[in-house]
Structure 1
Amino acid sequence: MKQTKFGMVLPVILISYFMILLDNSIVFTSTVKMAADLNLNAQTLSWVTNAYALTFGGLLMLGGRAGDIFGRRRVFLLGLLIFTVGSLLVGLATNGTLLIAMRALQGVGSAILAPTTLALLMDRYRGLMRTRAIIYYGATGGLGASFGLVIGGLIASYLSWRVGFLLNVPIGIVMALLTLKFVPASQPITGKIDWLGALFSVIGIIALVYSINGAQRPVLTAIIAVVFLALFIWQERRTAQPMMPLRLFADRERSSAYLARFFFLGAMISYFFLTPQAMQHVYHFTPLMAALGFLPETVPQFIFATLVSRLNYRFSNGQIMLAGTLITTLGLVLAAVVQVQTGYFWAIAVPMVIIGIGQGFTLSPLTVSGVAHTDPEIAGSASGVVNTVHQVGSSFGLSVITLLTANLVSPVVSYNKAVWIMAWFMVIALFAVINIQFTHKGAETNEH
């Protein structure tokens, strides 16, 4: 029988995924109050983000493969439990050491949850329903980051930063109960975890994220990352049951989507992180005003993300993705040309509307292309790669931009240069998306 309704599975998965993304955005707007509450210096405060990024980025591939081997619902529930317990302990943290350790625990939970949510959607739905479900998943990814800034600003301004984390506890409990009731248990595939590959990937990705996110010896750490990632690829080539089947990258559409996602997120997470700071430093906005100042991006993104599933009836996934990436690029170029000193309306608000429309159109189709042409045996691994690229690309983009603008004292000059770098990142993403279009045209030609 043809599937026509999503049922409760989709809301459970999307709310769980949104919870992860919202949590991270709340940290962006709460760092000042965390530092004041727990007497944290700048170096310790940076580890509130770094500890999460290291465990999240490092364990994503293992989390995706674990869902394939042990059953997605079981692994999803484990990730939900770890993330919820971590959130509770972050909210109750009495010192910086405990806060950082529990943020790392949250990262472990997120690394299990994020790839399993996408794989569950692929298990549950077929055909057009699957495409629409993945579109909603991709839209949730963008909305979680941008809405999180607004919600985080409200919580930080009117309540305690702890509330943002403690809210995850009842949500996590409800999601676990709904999962047990509505999400069917999936059949684990016959196989085993490639533990040697897992070890190489965890060390390699953690070293890579650490070299990007503030290692004291970034060159040495980057060399360690390259060595262990090379060992990981070598191991995946020779093992019969790879954790990350290299055939994932043999498909031109998927590999181009990974490259596009890497640079798209590198640009956009940098925009989300640096623009609220620019509004506060240049226009002297309060944190709440800066959060509300993001609404010109958030509202169009929400509206246009919801249109993607309808547009899929008239346009291909690649056409929507190309339009979205091009629009986002134009928005960033406009912001770079106008420059922040021109004033909030022309330099921030107008480009934000354009960027919001573009991002609303882009993230969902990028996710669809990232898991295109996969079978159930590698669905979890494909989801792990999508989320790993998302996380590492975000860290890479922000760190490169921070490094290239670190010697600029003026917040005006620093932000203007940062936006130009974001625009160039987006141009690279645009070329990768154009490559996907050529892939589709080539496939159509071969069919005829």
Structure 2
Amino acid sequence: MDVHLSTATGRWLIFTTVLGSSMALLDSTVVNVALPRVGIDLHARLGALQWITNAYTVTLAGLILLGGSLGDRYGRRKVFVIGVVWFALGSLLCGLAPNAVVLIFARPLQGIGGALLMPGSLAIIQASFHPDDRSKAVGLWSGFGGIGTAVGPFLGGWLVDGPGWRWVFLINLPLAVLCVPVAIRRVPETKDPEHHGRFDVSGATLGALALALLAYSLIAKSWWAGALSVAGAVSFVYVEKRRRDPMLPMSIFSSRQFSAVNVVTLCVYAALGGFLFLGVLQLQVVVGYSPLKAGAALLPTTVLLLLFSARSGKLADRIGPRIPLTVGPLLCAVGLLLMLRVDRLASYLTDVLPALVILGVGLVTLVAPLTATVLSSVETANAGLASGVNNAAARAAGLIAVAALPFLTGMGPTVYRSATEFDRSFDKAMPLCASIMVVGSLVAYVAVRRPSPAEAPP
């Protein structure tokens, strides 16, 4: 299809895909600001709070490849709509959970819905828009998606201080009621005609199992779970190589550009996931902000993403992705290191705000070019698969960071109830996150290149 962004169909496409994907992206961060209140109300330890975050991320990261593949085969709009409905039902169960155990077991249901709708939203854009408008459309999707991620702490804080933390989940229901009818009426259906109906259940199971065991090994400090996680990952690669119709064809990694950008994605979203998990807790536990004030503190990042993400995508078209993907993570690293100044006596204007502005500038620089480069490095027919791989990399990176950082910094099960102990651990975590950003920048500088006209996919 060759839909133009200036048409009514193009605007409805952007609105619907952003609204649907924002539900999943928003939930990745909106829950973080509610965790201290959830922990107190449900009498949960730090490990339970980690699982409230990671039970969602495990299924999202583990099944998102399957979601992209299903969309390519059965229809991207159809799978997208099913994902939105599933996500809303999972959110309802989370909002009604009477204790931490039920909440932890309800979160994977949300993850399944997110795995169906996330890759479909981006693949719809890639398959529907005219090539002249595709980069700008991806930039808008990335920018508004980034806003969904960044506005999460503010919205979560407002809900926690207002109607209560359960509305962090229940807010997804009215969004789904708005999204589904618009998608059915306004979004054209697209699929890859070369795909048939079989899909890879064994690959999806092994992938999700490997991630779940990895998270468990880091949270519970279990060597046997870590060994089983490695075995699951090796088995996943073995199965995918031998299957005639794999969920993840290994041939997609024959593109050096695609592989390199996904390594950059791992680094960026590991560091960002760690910051979003610990940063909001730092503002509440150490600085003493209310949930609403802690969420509002992150608004400068949101504003920057809103204003400049689309322009960043167009700039990357002109100068190539290498410079934005090298400079962006470095700026983010500086912002993360400046968060070391945020302690019990921190001033918002002189300590918190400068760190968040520099972090926001870094995200603006890299988010849209990162997404556009992933999609431009594969054939359009594989847009769902490429989007799924990249989203899986991002979610898996956040999962690992949330599980590993408390372990690496020596956080105890009740550390979030002590300002002194949490501040000490936070000061160890931010340099680790900044270092991961620097690694991503180095990978981009060495391996990412502007594709030549002969290499660019049609």
Using structure 1 for the length normalisation, give the TM-score: 0.90
Match of 2:356 among 352, 359, 362: 352
Distance 1:211 1:114 in 2: 27
Same amino acid, percent of matched pairs: 28
For residues 251-287 of structure 1, what are the alpha-carbon distances to aligned partners after superposition, in whole Å with 9 as ceiling and x for unaligned? 1111111111111111112222222222233322222
**Kept in 2: contact 1:57–1:209 (CA 8 A):** no
Cα distance in 2 between the residues matched to 1:202 and 1:20: 18
Q: Give the corresponding residue for 1:85.
A: 89
Q: Answer yes or no: is the 8 Å Cα contact 1:52–1:105 preserved in 2.
A: yes
Shift of the 47–334 alpha-carbon distance from structure 1 to 2, 3 Å rule, reads closer
CA distance in 2, matches of 1:138, 1:185: 21
State the Cα deviation string for residues 86-126 of structure 1 (Å, max 9, x = none): 11222233344433332221111111111111111111113
Matched, 1:317 2:321: yes
Is the deviation greater in 311-320 or in 48-57?
311-320
What amino acid is the match of 1:102?
A: A
Distance 2:425 2:42 in 1: 30
CA distance in 1, matches of 2:3, 2:75: 25
Q: 1:39 to 1:327 in 2, by over 3 A?
A: closer
In 1, are the aligned partners of 2:215 and 2:403 still within 8 Å (CA)? no
Partner of 1:433: 444
Q: Which residues of 2 match residues 239-278 of structure 1 at below 5 A?
A: 239-278=243-282
The reply on whether 1:283 has 2:284 as its aligned counterpart is: no
Unaligned 5+ segments in structure 2 are 413-419
Q: Does 1:395 align with 2:399?
A: yes
Asked if 1:12 corresponds to 2:16, the answer is yes
Matched, 1:424 2:432: no
Q: Aligned equivalents of 1:317 and 1:124: distance in 2?
A: 23
Kindly indicate whether the alpha-carbon contact (under 8 Å) linking 2:313 and 2:372 is maintained by their aligned counterparts in 1.
Answer: no
- Contact (CA 8 Å) 2:284, 2:290: kept in 1 or not? yes
Deviation (angstroms), 1:313: 6.0
Supply the distance in 1 between the matched residues of 2:99 and 2:118 (Cα, whole angstroms).
28
Distance apart, 1:245 and its partner CA: 1.4
Structure 1 position 413 matched with structure 2 position 424: yes
SS of residue in 2 equivalent to 1:193:
coil
- Closer, same or farther in 2 for the Cα pair 1:444/1:4, shift >3 Å? closer
Contact 1:52–1:107, Cα closer than 8 Å, also in 2: yes
Secondary structure in 2 matching 1:280:
helix
Q: 1:202 to 1:275 in 2, by over 3 A?
A: closer
What is the TM-score when the length of structure 2 is the normalising length?
0.88
Structure 1 letter corresponding to 2:204 = A
Aligned equivalent of 1:203, options 201, 206, 209? 209
Q: In the alignment, is the contact (CA less than 8 A) between 2:3 and 2:128 conserved in 1?
A: no
Counterparts in 2 of 1:339 and 1:173: CA distance versus 1, 3 Å: closer
Query: What residue in structure 2 maps to residue 343 of structure 1?
Result: 346
1:267, 1:398 within 8 Å by CA — same for their partners in 2?
no
Separation of aligned partners in 2, 1:420 and 1:329 = 8
Task: Return the offset for 1:348.
Answer: 2.3
Does the CA-based 8 Å contact 2:83-2:113 persist in structure 1?
Answer: yes
SS in 1 for 2:97: coil
Take 1:410 and 1:325, find their aligned partners in 2: how far apart are those partners?
Answer: 29
Change in Cα spacing, 1:232 to 1:118, as seen in structure 2 (3 Å) is same
Aligned mate of 2:374, from 353, 359, 370: 370
Following superposition, the deviation at residue 341 of structure 1 comes to 6.6
**Contact 2:378/2:386 (CA < 8 Å) preserved in 1?**
yes
Distance 2:132 2:138 in 1: 10
Deviates more, 1:394-403 or 1:114-123: 394-403
Q: Secondary structure at the match of 1:371?
A: helix
Structure 2 Cα separation of the partners of residues 260 and 333 of structure 1: 19
The question of whether the paired residues in 2 share the 8 Å contact of 1:57 and 1:206 is answered with no
Q: 1-side partners of 2:339 and 2:208: how far apart?
A: 38
Distance 1:407 1:52, change over 3 A: closer
Shift of 1:390: 0.5
| Structure 1: gaps of 5 or more residues | none
The number of residue pairs the alignment matches comes to 442
Q: CA deviation at 1:207?
A: 2.4
Q: Deviations over 1:144-192 (max 9, x none)?
A: 2221001111111122222232221121122110111011122453322
AA matched with 1:281:
V
CA spacing shift, 1:319–1:102, aligned 2, 3 Å = same
Deviations 1:344-399 (A, max 9, x none): 34432212111111111211111112222322442222111111111111122233
Question: Secondary structure at 2:11's aligned position in 1?
Answer: coil
| Alpha-carbon distance in structure 2 between the residues aligned to 1:99 and 1:222 | 25
| CA RMSD, Structure 1 to Structure 2 (Å) | 2.6
What is the rounded CA distance, in whole Å, between the counterparts of 1:101 and 1:412 in structure 2? Answer: 30
How far does residue 216 in structure 1 lie from its aligned partner after superposition? Answer: 5.4
Q: Classify 1:188/1:313 alpha carbon distance in 2 versus 1 (closer, same or farther; 3 Å).
A: closer
- Residue 8 of structure 1 aligns to a residue whose secondary structure is helix
Q: Matched residues in 1 for 2:366 and 2:20: separation?
A: 22
Summarize the Cα distance change of 1:198–1:347 in structure 2 as closer, same or farther, 3 Å threshold. Answer: same
Q: What is the CA–CA distance in structure 1 between the aligned matches of 2:202 and 2:61, rounded to whole Å?
A: 18
CA contact (8 A) 1:138 1:365 kept: no
- Corresponding residue for residue 174 of structure 2: 170
Tell me the distance in 1 between the aligned counterparts of 2:317 and 2:384.
27
2:287, 2:343 within 8 Å by CA — same for their partners in 1? no
How far off is 1:17 after superposition?
0.7
Q: How does 1:290-301 map to 2 (within 5 A)?
A: 290-301=294-305
2:329, 2:440 within 8 Å by CA — same for their partners in 1?
Answer: yes
Any conservation in 2 of the 1:73–1:185 contact (CA below 8 Å)?
yes
Q: Deviations over 1:47-80 (max 9, x none)?
A: 3223212222221121111112222111111111
How far is 1:335 from its partner? 4.0
Could you say which residue in structure 1 is the equivalent of 2:416? none
- 3-state secondary structure, aligned to 1:440: coil
